Amino acid sequence: MSQESSRIKKAGRHISQNEGLIFEKSAPGKRGFELPPLDVPPVDATKALGAAYVRDAIEGFPEVSEIEVIRHFTRLSTWNYAIDLGMYPLGSCTMKYNPRVNEFVARLDGLASEHPSQPANVAQGCLRILSDLQKCLLEITGMDAITLQPSAGAQGELTGLLLIRALLESQGNPRKKVLIPDSAHGTNPASVVIAGYEVQNIKSNAHGQIDTDHLREFVDNDTAALMVTNPSTIGVFEERIAEIAEILHSRGAFLYMDGANMNALAGITRPGDFGVDVMHLNLHKTFSTPHGGGGPGAGPVMVKTIFEPYLPVPVLIEKDGRFALDQNRPRSIGRVRAYCGNFGVLLRALAYTLAYGPGIRQATEDAVLNANYIRKGLEGHFDLPYKLPSMHEAVFSDARQKKHGVNTMDIAKRLIDYGFHPYTTAFPLIVPGALMIEPTESESKEECDLFIDAMRAIAEEAEKNPQLVKTAPHSTRVGRLDEVAAARKPVLRWKPSTSGEAAD
Amino acid sequence: MSQESSRIKKAGRHISQNEGLIFEKSAPGKRGFELPPLDVPPVDATKALGAAYVRDAIEGFPEVSEIEVIRHFTRLSTWNYAIDLGMYPLGSCTMKYNPRVNEFVARLDGLASEHPSQPANVAQGCLRILSDLQKCLLEITGMDAITLQPSAGAQGELTGLLLIRALLESQGNPRKKVLIPDSAHGTNPASVVIAGYEVQNIKSNAHGQIDTDHLREFVDNDTAALMVTNPSTIGVFEERIAEIAEILHSRGAFLYMDGANMNALAGITRPGDFGVDVMHLNLHKTFSTPHGGGGPGAGPVMVKTIFEPYLPVPVLIEKDGRFALDQNRPRSIGRVRAYCGNFGVLLRALAYTLAYGPGIRQATEDAVLNANYIRKGLEGHFDLPYKLPSMHEAVFSDARQKKHGVNTMDIAKRLIDYGFHPYTTAFPLIVPGALMIEPTESESKEECDLFIDAMRAIAEEAEKNPQLVKTAPHSTRVGRLDEVAAARKPVLRWKPSTSGEAAD
Amino acid sequence: MRYLPKSDSERKEMLRAIGANSIEDLFSTIPERFRLKHPLHLPGPLSEAEIIQYFQARAEENARGYTSFLGAGVYQHLRSVVPDAIIQRGEFLTSYTPYQAEISQGTLAAIFEFQTLMCQLTGQEVANASMYDGSTALTEAVLMAERLTDRRHVFIARTVHPEYRQVLQTYAKHLGLELSEVGFTASGQLDVAALDPRALAGAAALVVQSPNFLGVLENLPALAEIAHGSGALLVTGIAEAVSLGTVRPPAEADIVAMEGQSLGVAPSYGGPYVGVIATREKNVRQMPGRLAGQTTDAQGRRGFVLTLATREQHIRREKATSNICTNEALFALAATIHLCLLGKQGLREVAEQNLAKARFAQAELEKIPGVKRAFSGPTFNEFTLEFPRSVKLINAELLREKIIGPLPLGQSYPDQTKRGLVCVTETMPRTEIERLAAAIRRILEKPV
Amino acid sequence: MRYLPKSDSERKEMLRAIGANSIEDLFSTIPERFRLKHPLHLPGPLSEAEIIQYFQARAEENARGYTSFLGAGVYQHLRSVVPDAIIQRGEFLTSYTPYQAEISQGTLAAIFEFQTLMCQLTGQEVANASMYDGSTALTEAVLMAERLTDRRHVFIARTVHPEYRQVLQTYAKHLGLELSEVGFTASGQLDVAALDPRALAGAAALVVQSPNFLGVLENLPALAEIAHGSGALLVTGIAEAVSLGTVRPPAEADIVAMEGQSLGVAPSYGGPYVGVIATREKNVRQMPGRLAGQTTDAQGRRGFVLTLATREQHIRREKATSNICTNEALFALAATIHLCLLGKQGLREVAEQNLAKARFAQAELEKIPGVKRAFSGPTFNEFTLEFPRSVKLINAELLREKIIGPLPLGQSYPDQTKRGLVCVTETMPRTEIERLAAAIRRILEKPV
Ligand SMILES: Cc1ncc(COP(=O)(O)O)c(C=O)c1O
Ligand SMILES: Cc1ncc(COP(=O)(O)O)c(C=O)c1O
């Protein structure tokens, strides 16, 4: 009813005013910040720097008060979905609970306040945190050596590939290509290219697994490595992983494991034990650090001993209880980023690990339990292209719903009306119209049941009332947005001109 | 559309699941908290205390995990309106911006951690905070002495009345009655009774002001005091306040001022200068401490010198830069609560005062500016029963809308659909069907304009489509609730039996 | 100023719209002679950074880095970071009393949960949405007993928190209440023998606290019998709510007045805390304070509202059950979240750790020559010790070792200057307990 | 375990529903011999209280209570408590990359504001939603220049942050990029004379940083002319973004690579920070990283989406402009909130205070016999001093006085062991500057 009244200036979500961009609230002279008085003589910038080096006031820069800033961003926040609001079943993204205590310790004075260039003897606390995390991650993965420097999974991939390349080069031939299954995440091939290799895609077999015979043909003396995601992106463990490693090793190539799905393995099995040479972890997935709307992350790389000499500088070393950063590593691949990596993320990952200890196995078990429970609940309602047992995620396809003209994206959008964030759509590529569902261990049985109910209800709607699903979501602040227009004539920044009317 | 589908288990607000009570999520064995291991020998409670002193497990007590607790209360929070979301124009409540830095300093280790019984020589920091706040409040009110002990405005009133009583008793006669204008807040008469006085209500004159001639008749040797709210609850300054004080003083009675509306006066004029003998402040109103859904507050009482000997114990004293709490005050009225009052609230009030300094006058000016701007904007659309110039709030009546069967509560509820919290309804009592609107200084012109638009739109709706207004709100999680049933058969706690189905 | 969302040009524009020439016009109703001519003499304005500096400097002047064995009504307990993270959400922190139920269901549902938890803890049937603190809760409980019994004479144990008794005296004075204090025995429990049955006959209430101020648990079933025997109500104060994790709840009491600080609220030098009154259903209409109740909307959806408001000042004015209006809602919420985290198991474990640590400390301290337990009654996490010297003197020396020692009972019981109340909670490391024992031993070995 | 919302009976129930006998069944696809037989050797499990204790103990082992004059790419600036309060709201903290626009408008609108602010700061036309940090942003900017010019030779100033140069080398190695370093003059600015015009002719880019690692501002308009003169792009790195509050923006640069740490992000021992790439509109399709764009829904309501994804790995895989996926969104948000608070005025005032404090410190230090400025070029809040002894030795002594002294340039410039980089921001009290000067004076007076 009230929705009809065109004069209601509020967003779909009740109880808050609609909100434009901060620039549209700006008025000359308003301010949200004040400085302590200057305790030294002021300096005239133009005199100090010379007119050529000084700027004028920044045209269009916001001028707002503190309360307006608080309201603006509080209102914006209410237009987001979040783990704290409910299940976030994004396959491959491992959206699990982000413990609040991790936020607390990351902000402690003496940790958040520390400068990365300060002398090691006044940074022992930070270095010990890094050292303790290294030990934990090596124990969990069963690998021998580690670097915490990479900023995210993709950079971890690149770092790992550069390590392989460095070792091969030391053997006289860097080789040419890296094999990647067609089920792989997009960052894998992209990283391969930056490492100076060619990508060779290899097909998965009928079960979505790597075809070892097929693999044998491909692996030759030009092959540097195979990048495998295990469990694969369809949530299935590569049963022949040891054989795969063997095939590679027999040709002098290496097995790289994308550890993004480690949430299915931690405490159960260790990549280092089943033949992996180099791997990365996504601490912002398996180790619970908050995604924060897209980052930050951390992508540590673990290796077997032979790769150790090539690790990025600096390398953390321990001498009789004191820690130091070793910059002098002649065979190192060099740096992949400034300083020691995303310390604040690494610290949270350690806090997470300490909370579980060996009990991390229970988290893994619950994650796999939830995925299989949901798989069971949706079997018969959605098409299951690959029948092998699922681990941490279940991947369905929209084959049944397609018959009614409803695709995975439609189902995903309709899920929003049921109070859930969509699952991952249209990935992996080996599943046309994929529904990639990863509940993680953080979901209660109650939440899983609600999700199953919702998905079944949508399956029914897809038959009885496809239009309802195809036009979803119906309960959001804005409907489906015109992405084509966005890309054709990109508006990538606010300008007094471009600012349209706020949604209402 | 989606709203129709009965299978959608979500609250009116999109994107989050509906939420039952925490007890309904409980399952045996789940837990949200773990203790460090015990570092001393365990003790068997039954052996230690004796069976007669030991309890069994608490039947029905919740058992849930940390993530469930976070989600439960995060979801509940989304069903609240708040200052951080928009204007909260509750008259008399002074819902202004609650500065975030105040929350930060209130939690500092060394402040939040301090025990009220710790020796004064290891509590100098806390005592200095109290001392600095005392000085600020005395300067702002123009009074001579102060106690910070009262927990809220109502307790401040009681404390103030007890001080008056104590002084009168010392003069040989406590007297019998306290005069209260019919415009007064309900706590005033309630406090009078606890102080052992009778309430005598006095009528306001045609302008909503105290009728001084009328007052002259009432004040006699049985009159202990007059409790006046200035500006009054219709937002008007008592122009004859000095004469009123004189009338009382001439009969040996005292002028008590309810300072709940001090937001209209701070920096402009001082009660101590216009004849007030005793007054309280609501720090959770004028001094920006958060209301937190109903409290906590703080109600300091300021007095003229003659009342000082009677202040509650302990009294803060300063000797050459060191502070102490004086318990030995033979003529004190005693304690009104344990310890030194709501220290955490007092601390925030000091942080607020320090942020403004003498500039607090600007806040007062903006508060009065906003109120008058809104009054101007709504004149002609709503009936204005009292025409005297408004200060911090404007009070209208629903007289015009009543003709269409729409009353102040209907208008208030409809305001919710427009994204605002309602104003204060049906108070003060001297305005039948009152709309009591207090924007405070925290609202931008933009927000005031949105509010005026909304109110005008509702005024129009009240004529053209009264039903729409009478059945509002239409955009909330639940509609108007059956308060009669709630009071007739009170359900005041969850029981496995009483827990109904959650709203959907 | 950073808190004010207006530019000067906007101010002028608004004045024009109002039709005022200057801001002064808006204050014309204030008699000229009362308008301030000069700016107020206040410190500031301070930037945010300076405000933080100011309070950090104050924090340095307190007992940071000291180990404290103080309890006596305010207790150090473990608090998860979760409740504080949640109560800082603007939706809870910056909302008002939930009079407008449709947009306050978050607060109302939480209050309803709080009321339920308080009933479960205390073994009572109804609990309110909070009182200011334990001291005023106890006082209001006594006034409630007076209304329920229509009697004026109240017997109160000397072992009730001294400051709670002072508050009761302040309120009672002008309401014609007569207060009689009742002493304690060698067990530290109420001296039943000292209760004159004839006097008790006309009494409104017998008021006790358990654990009491000496740390001793009262025998509530027995006291209830005595009180009820002469038509008086048993009012039980509880200052250490964590005890209810393992100690028998005051189910026999007619009214329970509790301080909720131990349930997840910081000591914060005395407040804000959260008081609670719990009682039997039949007494609810004489109860002070807000109550949230369950009901439904037109479509039958469950919702919550503030109810039975006819008890309250904003409706009944001078006939209200109390003058309380603003209460301690935010900390009732904090306590609710804290208890949901602890849960059935956690609460019991915390209580049992308190018991174990206190017993360990007591044993360690009793090993010191000349130091012995003062009372024989059962204790939870506090106990009274008798020392060979004035506790004040011992504490003065302990302070030099950054230890805040036992609370000297002499402050409130002039005849007990050599007795001190020791509190040991789950937060106290064994090593600190041992450090205290060693320090006291050393101090006592030194000749005076 | 407190993070896991399941009871054992629920686990059994779910296993039954699945039709599994035990949890092991679900792991049957993992070859038996690879399944762990023993629990992992990990510390823990720790309660929340123990976790906090562990990290507090670590914090004590760092430089708490020290005064630091380090900058060199990471800067101490005033940060309001507001941004941190907002980014801790679950709706921002615990949300994913905003691929599902309808329920991510909060994050998307904020990114759009971030992109706008970065353009305003840098004087460029488009900016992305963030890169990992300044070092990788600079590297990606160079790779972008290569794609834009289809040239492989890159000239980079030796005054670019040494670690940024190391990262570029790591990436460049296998992409066939040729890097040539260019020295600096007595002014501390790029040695234009050392630029061989013939070599430059085939160059993809000239890469500089301003203020550079020696603290000196580069003459960007002049350098742009030189670069453009031979068809090369000017890539400008900015490590101290606060300088843009008063320093001329790199408007002439073709690509700007910025470290946003100074815009409201804590030093946090090296990360997470927020990198930025800004450039001209015409270069946008070669830009790496996410971009939010404005569009509308069917009803014409304004909304925001991630756009131009065809540049990115998840669409283009090996043909993507970069492999970056997860970025630093949360700190892009923090920087956005920080800049909204500072505003036009505040940002300029902060920059001017940095300038004033640095100039004061420089004057104080230059009064010390034997201490003099190393470079004559214009500086912002950092400057290089020449000392009569090794900076390392001086620092060792300063550390004893709880002062972390100038960054020894010798670490990265072996020929500059007696030179140190001093950083002084608005957070440095005058008294501490004077303490540093006094300490150095004392140290230098002592014979070696
Ligand atoms: C399987 C897989 N590999 C790699 C990545 C890339 O990791 P990041 O986003 O941290 O760079 C992801 C993350 O989306 C992933 O799911
Ligand atoms: C005018 C007035 N007086 C007194 C009070 C009572 O103050 P408190 O709620 O802090 O007890 C209020 C608060 O509502 C009020 O508005």
Closest alpha carbon to A444 in D229, C115, B351, B68: B68
Distance of residue D353 Cα from the nearest chain C Cα, in angstroms: 14
d(CA B474, CA B414): 8
What's the pLDDT tens digit per position in D293-327? 999 999 898 999 999 998 898 888 888 999 999 99
What pTM, to 2 d.p., does this model score? 0.97
| Amino acid in the structure at residue B478 | V
From the list A84, A418, A477, which residue is nearest B74 (CB)?
A84
Measure Cα distances from B250 to A87, A481, B221, B225, B253 in Å.
Answer: 71, 74, 10, 12, 7
From the list D30, D45, D91, which residue is nearest A77 (CB)?
D91
The torsion angles phi and psi of A169, rounded to 5 degrees, stand at: -60, -40
Q: What is the pLDDT of residue A264?
A: 98
What's the pLDDT tens digit per position in C297-323? 998 989 999 999 988 988 888 889 999
Q: What is the pLDDT of residue B3?
A: 31
Q: What is the pLDDT of residue C6?
A: 97
Q: How far is the CA of D358 from the centre of ligand 2 (A)?
A: 52
Lowest mean pLDDT among A84-93, B55-64, C192-201, C380-389: C192-201
Q: Whose CA is nearest to atom 16 of ligand 2?
A: B92
Nearest chain B Cα to C407, which residue?
Answer: B117
- 8-state DSSP, D24: G
Q: What is the pLDDT of residue C10?
A: 97
Distance of residue B139 Cα from the nearest chain D Cα, in angstroms: 29
- 8-state DSSP, B502: P
Q: Are β-strands D292-296 and B145-147 bridged in parallel, bridged antiparallel, or unpaired? A: unpaired
- 8-state DSSP, B259: G
What's the pLDDT tens digit per position in D88-106? 999 999 999 999 999 999 9
Residues of chain B with C-beta less than 8 angstroms from the C-beta of A363? none
| pLDDT over threshold 70, residue B62 | yes
A129 CB less than 6 Å from ligand 1? no
What is the rounded average pLDDT of the residues A346-374?
A: 98
d(CA B160, CA C299): 48
| B293/C95 CB distance under 8 A | yes
What's the pLDDT tens digit per position in D370-395? 999 999 999 999 999 999 999 999 99
Are the beta carbons of D175 and D201 closer than 8 angstroms? no
What's the pLDDT tens digit per position in B295-316? 999 999 999 999 999 999 999 9
What's the pLDDT tens digit per position in A61-73? 999 999 999 999 9
- Secondary structure string (H, E, C) spanning B155-209: HHHHHHHHHHHHHHHHCCCCCCEEEEECCCCCHHHHHHHHCCCEEEEECECCCCC
Q: What is the pLDDT of residue A9?
A: 39
Ligand 1 atom index nearest CA of A156? 11
Give the Cβ contact number of residue B331 at 10 Å.
12
| B70/D90 CB distance under 8 A | yes
D130 near A CB under 8 A:
yes
Instruction: Write down the H helix ranges in C22-104.
Output: 48-60, 81-87, 90-93
Q: Whose CA is nearest to atom 8 of ligand 1?
A: A153
D448 near B CB under 8 A:
no
Q: What is the pLDDT of residue D447?
A: 84
Model confidence at A17, pLDDT cuts 50, 70, 90, reads low
What is the rounded average pLDDT of the residues A46-55?
A: 97
ipTM of the complex: 0.97
- Tokens for D12? 């059994």
Residues of chain D with C-beta less than 8 angstroms from the C-beta of A481? 101-102, 295-297, 303-305
d(CA A151, CA D367): 43
Are the beta carbons of D434 and D364 closer than 8 angstroms? yes
Closest alpha carbon to A382 in A304, A309, A441, A463: A463
d(CA A483, CA A488): 9
From the list D49, D78, D88, which residue is nearest C78 (CB)?
D49
Chain C contacts in chain B segment 181-200 (CB below 8 A): 185-187, 189-196, 199
The torsion angles phi and psi of D368, rounded to 5 degrees, stand at: -75, 125
- Secondary structure string (H, E, C) spanning chain C: CCCCCCCHHHHHHHHHHHCCCCHHHHHCCCCHHHECCCCCCCCCCCCHHHHHHHHHHHHHCCCCCCEECCCCCCCCCCCCHHHHHHHCCHHHHCCCCCCCHHHEHHHHHHHHHHHHHHHHHHCCCEECCCECCHHHHHHHHHHHHHHHHCCCEEEEECCCCHHHHHHHHHHHHHHCCEEEEECECCCCCECHHHCCHHHHHCEEEEEEECCCCCCECCCHHHHHHHHHHCCCEEEEEECCHHHHHCECCCCCCCEEEEECCCCCCCCHHHCCCCEEEEECHHHHHHCCCCCEEEEEECCCCEEEEECCHHHCHHHHHHHCCCCCCCCCHHHHHHHHHHHHHHHHHHHHHHHHHHHHHHHHHHHHHHCCCCCEECCCCCECCEEEEECCCCHHHHHHHHHHCCEECCEEHHHCCHHHCCEEEEECCCCCCHHHHHHHHHHHHHHHHCCC
Residues of chain B with C-beta less than 8 angstroms from the C-beta of A472? 2
Nearest chain A Cα to C51, which residue?
Answer: A36
d(CA A486, CA B498): 53
Which of C99, C313, C325 best tests ligand 2's pocket when mutated (most atoms within 8 Å of CB)? C325
Q: What is the pLDDT of residue A497?
A: 67
d(CA C42, CA C40): 6
A152 CB less than 6 Å from ligand 1? yes
What is the rounded average pLDDT of the residues B436-464?
A: 96
Omega of the bond prior to D250 within 30 degrees of 0, cis?
A: no
Helix (H, G, I), strand (E, B) or coil at D295: strand
- Tokens for C169? 């005296």
- Tokens for A249? 């090793």
Helix (H, G, I), strand (E, B) or coil at A379: strand
Q: Name chain A's partners: 3 or more CB pairs within 8 A.
A: B, C, D
**Residue found by looking up tokens 């009168």 in the block:** B168
Q: What is the pLDDT of residue B497?
A: 67
d(CA D36, CA D42): 14
| pLDDT over threshold 70, residue A15 | no
Q: What is the pLDDT of residue C197?
A: 85
Q: What is the pLDDT of residue B475?
A: 82
d(CA D322, CA A189): 10
A38 near C CB under 8 A:
no
Model confidence at B5, pLDDT cuts 50, 70, 90, reads very low
B187 CB less than 6 Å from ligand 2? yes
Ligand that comes closest to the CA of residue C136: 2
Q: What is the pLDDT of residue B238?
A: 96
d(CA D24, CA A365): 9
Q: What is the pLDDT of residue B444?
A: 97
A230 CB less than 6 Å from ligand 1? no
**For testing the chain D interface, which of C2, C3, C64, C84 should be mutated: the one with the most D CBs within 10 Å?**
C2
| pLDDT over threshold 70, residue D65 | yes
Ligand 2 atom index nearest CA of B233? 1
Q: How far is the CA of B494 from the centre of ligand 1 (A)?
A: 45
Omega of the bond prior to C31 within 30 degrees of 0, cis?
A: no
Q: What is the pLDDT of residue B496?
A: 83
Chain C contacts in chain A segment 251-290 (CB below 8 A): none
What's the pLDDT tens digit per position in C5-27? 999 999 999 999 999 999 999 99
- Tokens for B222? 């049985």
**Residue found by looking up tokens 């773990």 in the block:** B34
Q: How far is the CA of B217 from the centre of ligand 2 (A)?
A: 28
Q: How far is the CA of B153 from the centre of ligand 2 (A)?
A: 5
Q: How far is the CA of A76 from the centre of ligand 2 (A)?
A: 33
B92 CB less than 6 Å from ligand 2? yes
| pLDDT over threshold 80, residue A323 | yes
Q: What is the pLDDT of residue B16?
A: 57
D317 CB less than 6 Å from ligand 1? no
- Tokens for B13? 């607000």
d(CA D39, CA D30): 17
What's the pLDDT tens digit per position in B254-284? 999 999 999 999 999 999 999 999 999 999 9
Percent of residues, chain A, with pLDDT higher than 90: 91
| pLDDT over threshold 70, residue B13 | no
What's the pLDDT tens digit per position in A111-157? 999 999 999 999 999 999 999 999 999 999 999 999 999 999 999 99
Q: Whose CA is nearest to atom 13 of ligand 1?
A: A93
**For testing the chain A interface, which of D117, D187, D299, D325 should be mutated: the one with the most A CBs within 10 Å?**
D325
What's the pLDDT tens digit per position in D235-246? 999 999 999 999
**For testing the chain A interface, which of B4, B33, B34, B67 should be mutated: the one with the most A CBs within 10 Å?**
B67
Q: Whose CA is nearest to atom 5 of ligand 2?
A: B153
What's the pLDDT tens digit per position in D104-121? 999 999 999 999 999 999
Q: What is the pLDDT of residue B498?
A: 47
- 8-state DSSP, D132: S
Ligand 2 atom index nearest CA of B152? 10
Per-residue pLDDT of chain C (448 residues; tens, 9 = 90+): 999 999 999 999 999 999 999 999 999 999 999 999 999 999 999 999 999 999 999 999 999 999 999 999 999 999 999 999 999 999 999 999 999 999 999 999 999 999 999 999 999 999 999 999 999 999 999 999 999 999 999 999 999 999 999 999 999 999 999 999 999 999 999 999 999 888 899 999 999 999 999 999 999 999 999 999 999 999 999 999 999 999 999 999 999 999 999 999 999 999 999 999 999 999 999 999 999 999 999 989 899 999 999 889 888 888 899 999 999 999 999 999 999 999 999 999 999 999 999 999 999 999 999 999 999 999 999 999 999 999 999 999 999 999 999 999 999 999 999 999 999 999 999 999 999 999 999 999 998 7
Model confidence at A496, pLDDT cuts 50, 70, 90, reads confident
A286 CB less than 6 Å from ligand 1? no
Mean pLDDT of chain B: 94
| A8/B417 CB distance under 8 A | yes
